Amino acid sequence: MQDRENQCRPREQTDAGRAGRLPKLHWARVFACIAAVTALTGVAQPGQQPTPGMPIRDEMPPIQPQNNRVPDANDQMRMHEQQTQKQDFAAANAERRKQIADDSAKLLKLATDLKTEVDKTTKDTLSLGVIRKADEIEKLAHNVKEKMKLTVGQS
């Protein structure tokens, strides 16, 4: 019912009630705009700490021309030689491992043969062949030990 009365009343009477609220609403908007501008200028002020992960322009090292240059023929040749050298080291190490495996198999065979020959002899006699076989085993074992110590390149 009051809504009907408000509709029937002249416009001046309803605007009079709002007239007291308009300056308050106007000042609230002005204050909100000033607060927003202050907040935005505070964010954009120079000298503030950047957010983590963002590069700092003043602390970044200058880009040197030699850091961005395309490798010339000498640099390309040097890089190719290094790559070839690494491949050579890998091949040499693979070959060394193969030799160690072969020598170890030979060493096992010689040790087994020596044992069978020693078992055949009597306790008072040793044949010259047994002594030679023992010397050969000793030399081969020394070579295997040295090859195991040796590493070619930076593995």
Distance of alpha carbon 42 from alpha carbon 107, whole angstroms: 81
Structure tokens at 19: 């007239």
Per-residue pLDDT reduced to its tens digit, 7-46: 555 555 555 555 555 566 777 788 787 877 777 666 555 5
Distance of alpha carbon 110 from alpha carbon 113, whole angstroms: 5
CB 100 within 8 A of CB 148: yes
Structure tokens at 28: 């609230």
Distance of alpha carbon 82 from alpha carbon 153, whole angstroms: 11
Longest dimension (CA), the chain: 143
Domain ranges across the chain: 2-42, 90-155
| Least confidently predicted of 42-46, 95-99, 134-138 | 42-46
The pTM for the full model equals 0.45
Q: Report the candidate in 102, 83, 104, 100 with the shortest Cα–Cα distance to residue 153.
A: 83
